[in-house]
């Protein structure tokens, strides 16, 4: 079967243990404003436009009325686009690019398996992320089943807010669940992500109860969740549950430039923490008895 994928990236070293090939699926059920992969939010195939690459050749304008040339400068009005990708097809410079493609699971796995020698040497494998991978549950299950059949170690990176039955369906097929734990305050969680935190906590507990290997991935965003209560909750979770530990994912503004290329919001209001700050957060959680994930190996 096919799934909607926006990237297959080899040589990822921060998405689980070892050297991994990460598969990015389209579509997400949360709307976190700090998202570093904004191209994964919409389930639709989008068009990204990188202005600096545009040579202003006018070919897109000839096939799609969304594109115009004003004073020798290319302008792109996304709302008027209905050309079905013809603008991307004629763009010679790569300024316009389709974000997302429908790929066969078997083709994705073939692509992933090319790095098997590096997985074997590093304890790596495939990581499926997004977006939220459980938003394409059948495709996700097929990818994981194929990886299992090929003896490739698999991780999924999930926001924890998928449907229970979708997690259940992949329990035996997934070697490691990297589950986000974003916010502790219930009201804030609901307001910021658009989903209730209880769902996430229940799913984490469910995965642990089911014997799955779970790691808590904690995006820390200055001014949003770099607070003691949250750090304490992280520490408590690692004490209370048989998870592999926590891992801090410091906020990075990579997402905002990607968002702009998709015609979405401009610069984000957050500031990236320096390394000392991240160290301080880590130390704080550790001092509260939190267990940090050692990345296996």
Nearest to other proteins of 112, 208 (CB atom):
112
Tokens of 1: 């079967």
What are the residues whose beta carbons fall under 8 Å from the beta carbon of 259, sequence distance 6 or more?
Answer: 35, 38, 265, 266, 268
Core vs surface per residue 17-37: b (16+ CB within 10 A) or e: bbbbbbbbbbbbbbebebbbb
Tokens of 281: 């957060």
Please give the size of the binding site for other proteins, defined by CB under 8 A. 30
- Distance in Å, CB of 68 to other proteins, minimum: 23
Cα 266 to Cα 9, 191, 245: the distances in Å are 25, 21, 34
- Distance in Å, CB of 118 to other proteins, minimum: 5
From the list 2, 68, 122, 188, which residue makes contact with other proteins (rule: CB under 8 A)?
122
From the list 90, 101, 272, 286, which residue makes contact with other proteins (rule: CB under 8 A)?
272
Rule CB under 8 A: is residue 121 a binding residue for other proteins? yes
Rule CB under 8 A: is residue 44 a binding residue for other proteins? no
Site pattern 229..268 for other proteins (x: CB under 8 A): --------------------xxxxxx--x--x--------
- Distance in Å, CB of 124 to other proteins, minimum: 7
DSSP string, 98-151: EE-EEEEHHHHHHHHHTTHHHHHHHT-EEEEESS-GGGSHHHHHHHHHHHHHTT
Nearest to other proteins of 84, 92 (CB atom):
92
The residues of the shown chain that bind other proteins, judged by CB under 8 A, are 9-14, 18-19, 36, 52, 92, 114-115, 117-118, 120-122, 124, 249-254, 257, 260, 272, 295, 297
């Amino acid at each position: 079967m096919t799934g909607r994928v926006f990237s297959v990236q080899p040589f990822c070293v921060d998405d689980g243990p070892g050297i991994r090939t990460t598969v990015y699926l389209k579509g997400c059920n949360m709307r976190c404003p700090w998202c570093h992969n904004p191209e994964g939010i919409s389930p639709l195939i989008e068009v990204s436009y990188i202005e600096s690459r545009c040579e202003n050749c006018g070919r897109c304008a000839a096939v799609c009325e969304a594109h115009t040339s004003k004073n020798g400068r290319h302008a792109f009005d996304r709302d008027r686009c209905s050309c079905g990708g013809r603008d991307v097809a004629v763009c010679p410079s790569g300024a316009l690019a389709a974000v997302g493609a429908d790929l066969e699971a078997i083709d994705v796995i073939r692509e992933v398996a090319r790095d098997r020698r590096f997985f074997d040497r590093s304890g790596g494998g495939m990581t499926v992320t997004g977006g939220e991978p459980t938003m394409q549950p059948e495709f996700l299950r097929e990818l994981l089943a194929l990886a299992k059949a090929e003896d490739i170690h698999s991780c999924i990176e999930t926001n924890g807010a998928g449907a229970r039955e979708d997690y259940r369906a992949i329990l035996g097929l997934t070697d490691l669940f990297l589950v986000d734990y974003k916010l502790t305050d219930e009201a804030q969680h609901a307001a910021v992500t658009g989903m209730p935190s209880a769902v996430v906590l229940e799913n984490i507990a469910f995965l642990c109860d089911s014997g799955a290997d779970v790691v808590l991935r904690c995006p820390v965003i200055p001014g949003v969740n770099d607070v003691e209560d949250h750090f304490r909750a992280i520490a408590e979770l690692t004490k209370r549950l048989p998870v592999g530990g926590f891992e801090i994912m410091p906020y990075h503004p990579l997402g905002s430039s990607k968002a702009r290329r998709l015609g979405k919001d401009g610069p984000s209001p957050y500031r990236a923490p320096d390394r000392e700050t991240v160290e301080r957060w880590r130390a704080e959680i550790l001092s509260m008895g939190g267990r940090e994930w050692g990345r296996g190996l």
